[in-house]
Amino acid sequence: MPPAPGSPRFEKALAFVLDHEGRTADEPVGDPDTNWGITQSVYDAFRADRGLPTRPVDSATPDELRTIYWERFWLGGRCDKLPEPVDLIHFDSRVNLGEGTANRMLQTAVGSVLVDGMIGSKTLAAVREQDPTVLGARYCSMRLMRYVTLARSSGRLRQFLRGWSRRVAHLLEQL
């Protein structure tokens, strides 16, 4: 079992995510199976890993949600091994865009590693060789381009572009 959440960097990143996620998706076409940014499928996997029966994600306790953020999104993304502010940007990206997409996006932003979606020792070493502010800005730019592409590809998603752009702007303020 990994150590309990509580590092100042994790707490800062979690506060950022929770500020942008909200309790449940309340948009008319949003995902009703989301609670503080945690999807039903992620919650189901969390409970299954612990031998617990499935239940609706909106019944998840604050401790369960916090543990999911810590284990799956922070530690799973190796955010504890990334410099500030890249740790925050990557954590938020994993929550908002999905773990694999965020991992590949970080690797693409680094530019000198194989883009395989696995954050291993080579990716971490390449991250350490870069200026974290420049890398963070590049990562945010890629996120914004991704959101524009999503909005243009689906009229249903276009309504979210302003909020997504605001979220990236708030990340850029952390550089």
- Evaluate the omega torsion of the peptide bond into residue 85 and state whether it is cis, within 30 degrees of 0: yes
CATH value at residue 14: 1.20.141.10
Dist CA 145 CA 153 (whole Å): 12
Residue 84, burial from CB neighbour count under 10 angstroms (0-12, 13-18, 19+): middle
2 occurs within a structural domain? no
Stated pTM of the model: 0.93
1 is a domain residue: no
Residue 148, pLDDT > 80, answer yes
pLDDT digits (tens, 9 = 90+) for 54-111: 999 999 999 999 999 999 999 999 999 999 999 999 999 999 999 999 999 999 999 9
Both tokens assigned to 88: 């925050």
* 43 occurs within a structural domain: yes
Q: What's the domain count of the chain?
A: 1
Q: So what's the pLDDT on residue 101?
A: 98
Residue 96 counted as domain residue: yes
Does a structural domain hold residue 104? yes
pLDDT in tens, 109-135: 999 999 999 999 999 999 999 999 999
Tell me how many degrees the CA angle 138-87-38 measures, rounded to the nearest 5.
105
- Domain residues for 123? 8-172
